[in-house]
Every structure is written in structure tokens, then in C-alpha cells.
């Protein structure tokens, strides 16, 4: 009996010792990712152009408008106006005969002339309204007709 009791006590100490000194292990699983900045344009309201009093220039009477929402500061580039329809016009000689402009509600602005594309900074995250204007100085009196021009805006976050 002594031997059995002694063996049981010894077995209990060995068992207790092995559970007390059991080692633990851990593993860390990390996650990484990148979220790219993005901009989206909202609905476009087209602008209106009419002949000036002299009859050789088309000018904006109602600016075009578009909203832009960006998740980080961005650049917005605009092109000079490109004729899409109407009697063919020839820009007057010299700079500044074909001009487009854009102004944001945050106060940023840019002007493109000739065949240039010009960028402006939009420093704010969120939504801005952009007003777009244009003018076209013809080398002669404007022929009667309906005219269409396009100014393209491109956003880069």
C-alpha cells in the first residue's frame, strides 16, 4: 500500500509539474492594404454661349457646371474648347482667341488657351462645384448657325 500511495503521489507531482511548465505559443497575423484616391464627377449642366455685340466672338452667357467629389486632394485639368458642331470657325490670329476656364467653389481656377490643357489643384477632400466657361474669337463675323463646343475636364487624385 505504501508503494501504491507513493506511486500515486509521485505521478501527481509529475503530472502537476508537466502542466505547470507547459509552453505556450502565439502567432500574429497582420493585414495590410492600400486604398487608392478617387474622384468622381456628378451630373453635368451644360453651358450656354452666344455671340458678343460685335458678332465675331462666342462667349459664355451661362457657365457649365459639374460637381466633383474626391477622397484626397486632386488635380483637375481642362482643355481649351473644341468645336463639335456648327459652321466651321477659324480662330483669330494671336493668343487668347480660344479660351476655356474653370473655377471651383473652393476658389481654385485655371484657364486654357489655344490647344493647351491646364491643371488646377483642388486641395479639399469632399465635393466641389466647378463652373466652366469658354469663348471663341473668330477671324471674321460669325456665320449664322447653331454652335457646339466641348471642354473636357480630367481629374487625377
Q: Is residue 18 part of a domain?
A: no
For residue 20, is pLDDT > 70?
Answer: no
Provide the pLDDT for residue 93: 85
Q: Is residue 9 part of a domain?
A: no
Residue 115, domain member (yes or no): yes
Does residue 32 fall inside a structural domain? no
- With residue 2 as reference, give the H or E element that holds it: helix 2-20
The confidence score (pLDDT) of residue 3 equals: 55
Q: How many domains does the chain have?
A: 1
**Within a domain: 8:** no
Asked, for residue 16, whether it belongs to a domain, the answer is: no
Are 78 and 104 a contacting pair, CB within 8 Å? no
Q: What is the pLDDT of residues 104-126, one digit of tens each?
A: 988 888 888 887 788 899 988 99
- Residue 3, domain member (yes or no): no
Convert the pLDDT of each residue in 39-74 to its tens digit.
999 999 999 999 998 899 999 999 999 999 999 999
CB 37 within 8 A of CB 122: no
**Does residue 2 fall inside a structural domain?**
no
Instruction: Please say if the pLDDT value at position 10 is more than 80.
Output: no
CATH number at residue 65: 2.60.40
User: 88 phi and psi, to 5 degrees?
Assistant: -65, 130
Range of the domain at 112: 39-156
Amino acid at each position: 500500500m505504501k508503494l501504491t500511495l507513493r506511486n500515486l503521489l509521485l505521478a501527481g507531482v509529475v503530472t502537476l509539474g508537466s502542466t505547470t511548465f507547459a509552453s505556450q505559443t502565439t502567432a500574429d497575423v497582420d493585414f495590410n492594404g492600400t486604398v487608392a484616391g478617387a474622384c468622381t464627377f456628378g451630373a453635368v449642366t451644360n453651358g450656354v454661349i452666344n455671340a458678343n455685340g460685335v458678332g465675331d466672338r462666342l462667349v459664355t452667357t451661362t457657365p457649365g457646371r459639374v460637381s466633383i467629389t474626391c477622397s484626397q486632394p486632386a488635380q483637375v485639368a481642362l482643355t481649351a474648347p473644341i468645336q463639335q458642331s456648327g459652321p466651321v470657325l477659324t480662330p483669330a490670329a494671336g493668343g487668347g482667341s480660344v479660351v476655356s476656364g474653370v473655377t471651383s467653389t473652393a476658389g481654385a481656377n485655371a484657364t486654357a488657351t489655344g490647344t493647351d490643357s491646364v491643371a488646377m489643384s483642388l486641395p479639399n477632400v469632399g465635393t466641389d462645384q466647378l463652373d466652366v466657361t469658354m469663348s471663341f474669337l473668330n477671324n471674321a463675323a460669325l456665320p449664322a448657325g447653331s454652335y457646339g463646343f466641348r471642354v473636357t475636364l480630367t481629374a487625377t487624385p
